[in-house]
Amino acid sequence: PTELSALYSSMFEAPLVCSRVSAEQSLDPLPEFAQILLDLVQYPSQKLRSHCLSLLVRHFSQRAVLAINMLSTQNVTFPEVAALMSVMDFASSEIRRNMKWLSSSNNSRRAEAYASIRENLQQLAQLLTVGATVSGIYIDEATAKKYQNMMRLLGVHDRVVAHLELPIQ
């Protein structure tokens, strides 16, 4: 338990940056770093003022930025899921790549694009089909929700909606 407590403390309670520069919980008293930057804002140089204010904003908003970035991060720990994530990413990029050919005047290229997009959409839909088995992974309701979240983070839904908005010729 002591080793575990020490590990927890070193990973989650220790600051990532120097304590003099790290983000403060409150502004009372104002950190020395911020006081220096506010002093520098009074100098006549517009460029210096701009950089100082930029640093102040960055300094006091780093926790919010971290929280926002954490919401859009997907941690993958199992090799099978990592492989499926790369399949999703590839299918999503193939859909995006073929979208430009859907409005082509070249009928054969347009037909190839439709076929490729249809194949990739079917592959992605299979990953969301409860009861299916994909690459040895049984898709239950919880797994389908996880894959749906992964696809959302990859922007698949935007590409699918863009495909559905195209006029069919």
pLDDT in tens, 58-94: 887 877 777 777 776 767 777 877 888 888 888 888 9
What is the mean pLDDT of the segment spanning 106-133? 90
Q: Is the pLDDT of residue 17 over 70?
A: no
Q: Cα(first)–Cα(last) distance of the chain, in Å?
A: 67
What b/e string do you get for 125-154 counting C-beta neighbours within 10 Å, with b at 16 or more?
eebeeeeeebeebebeeebbebbeebbeeb
DSSP code at position 22: S
32 vs 64: which has the higher pLDDT? 32
8 Å CB contact between 151 and 124: yes
Residue closest to 127 by CA, chosen among 117, 137, 119, 118: 137
Query: What is the model's pLDDT at position 108?
Result: 92
Maximum alpha-carbon separation in the chain = 70
* Range 27-43 average pLDDT: 83
Give the global pTM.
0.52
Predicted local confidence at residue 16, as pLDDT: 59
Q: Please report the pLDDT score of residue 48 as a whole number.
A: 92
Confidence category of residue 166, pLDDT binned at 50, 70, 90: low
